[in-house]
């Protein structure tokens, strides 16, 4: 399976009768799948079907989906209240004759409130049903386009993550090859320190110093940390090759990388090993940042 990002954008639009509709979907990273819908009045019935389609197509991400509907062409209609106009015309003419003045013009009568009404075109129930049917198909197409975009970004992230893992592997190999980290070198260095202490502080028990040196040498050995780093590297590479929704498991491994790197730094008794540990921490942090976008 391919690796997918949680970041993407898609748009779908169509025309149903006299009504133009459009979907816009935006996706960013999140711990789970969080779908936020914005639907116009009258289209609440779309909610369940849209959520079901999104749950089927996506595993993780904060997804915002906005649906808009507008009328194609003229969206207003003019309504003339003919009975009221006729009654007004008769009354106006009778009043004009009684007063001996000219009758009012049609323009004047049309200007009276309530004679002419400008109204927005209204959707019928059948309009909404037809729009909802086409819009659901449009949403599924937008989801498919969103998935394509997320997969494309996932492929780029796979390359970046592989580079980070290669860097971690190189640093771990460098730490493995350090002569300073070998148990014999650690013991020799501590033995020299014990000798100096014993000569400068005659009250100290040489046997006790020797025992403490052996304990310190054991604690300074990073063999286990390097072995665990190697195991985590293998597991991470397998997950990248496997693909699919592996973001959570990769995040767990990144935490383990961080744990082993911190322990390696704390146990280091050589400047070179400490520098390798700090470089490892930088790569592990970069690895975790990129994993935050993996589905």
Residue ranges covered by each domain of the chain? 8-73+123-151, 77-120, 154-291
**Which SS3 state, helix, strand or coil, does residue 292 take?**
coil
| Contact (CB, 8 A) for 28 and 78 | no
Give the β-pairing of 8-16 and 19-28: antiparallel
pLDDT of the residue at 236:
96
| pLDDT band with cut points at 50, 70 and 90 for residue 118 | low
| Contact (CB, 8 A) for 16 and 130 | yes
Crossing angle of helices 125-177/223-242, nearest 10°?
150
Closest CA to 185 of 94, 96, 273, 78: 273
pLDDT in tens, 229-253: 999 999 999 999 999 999 999 999 9
Q: Which CATH architecture has domain 154-291?
A: Up-down Bundle (1.20)
pLDDT in tens, 98-111: 888 888 888 887 78
| Contact (CB, 8 A) for 275 and 248 | no
Between 109 and 205, name the one with better pLDDT. Answer: 109
- Among the listed ranges 2-16, 83-97, 105-119, 189-203, which one has the minimum average pLDDT value? 189-203
pLDDT of the residue at 191:
63
> What is the distance between the terminal CA atoms of the chain, rounded to a whole angstrom?
12
pLDDT of the residue at 82:
85
Count Cβ atoms within 10 A of the Cβ of residue 155 and give its class: 0-12 exposed, 13-18 middle, 19 or more buried.
middle
Mean pLDDT of 207-231: 70
Domain 8-73+123-151 has CATH 3.90.180.10: no
Strands (E), the chain: 8-16, 19-28, 33-38, 61-71, 76-80, 116-120
pLDDT in tens, 271-280: 888 899 999 9
pLDDT in tens, 126-176: 889 999 999 999 999 999 999 999 999 999 999 999 999 999 999 999 988
**Which SS3 state, helix, strand or coil, does residue 78 take?**
strand
Between 117 and 69, name the one with better pLDDT. Answer: 69
pLDDT of the residue at 189:
65
Instruction: Output the six-digit token pair for 64.
Output: 């915002």
pLDDT in tens, 171-187: 999 988 887 656 666 66
């Amino acid at each position: 399976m391919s690796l997918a990002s949680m970041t993407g954008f898609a748009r779908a639009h169509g025309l149903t009768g006299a009504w133009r509709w459009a979907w816009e979907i935006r996706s960013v990273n999140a711990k789970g799948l969080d779908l936020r819908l914005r639907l116009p009045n009258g289209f609440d019935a779309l909610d369940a079907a849209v959520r079901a389609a999104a749950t089927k197509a996506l595993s993780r991400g904060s997804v915002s989906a906005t649906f808009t509907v507008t009328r194609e062409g003229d969206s207003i209609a003019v309504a003339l209240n003919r009975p009221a106009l006729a009654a007004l015309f008769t009354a106006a003419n009778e009043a004009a004759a009684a007063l001996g003045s000219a009758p009012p013009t049609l323009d004047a009568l049309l200007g009276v409130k309530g004679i002419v009404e400008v109204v927005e075109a209204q959707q019928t129930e059948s309009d909404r049903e037809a729009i909802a049917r086409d819009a659901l198909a449009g949403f599924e197409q937008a989801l498919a386009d969103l998935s394509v975009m997320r997969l494309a970004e996932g492929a780029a992230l796979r390359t970046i993550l592989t580079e980070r893992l290669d860097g971690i592997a190189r640093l771990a190999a460098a730490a493995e090859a350090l002569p300073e980290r070998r148990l014999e070198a650690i013991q020799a260095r501590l033995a020299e320190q014990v000798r100096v202490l014993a000569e400068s502080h005659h009250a100290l028990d040489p046997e006790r110093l020797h025992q403490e040196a052996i304990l310190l040498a054991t604690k300074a050995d990073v063999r286990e940390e390097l072995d665990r780093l190697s195991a985590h590297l293998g597991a991470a590479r397998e997950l990248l090759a496997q693909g699919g929704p592996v973001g959570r498991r990769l995040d767990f491994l990144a935490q383990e990388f961080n744990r082993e790197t911190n322990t390696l730094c704390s146990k280091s008794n050589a400047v070179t090993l400490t520098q390798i540990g700090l470089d490892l921490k930088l790569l592990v942090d970069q690895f975790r940042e990129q994993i935050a976008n993996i589905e």
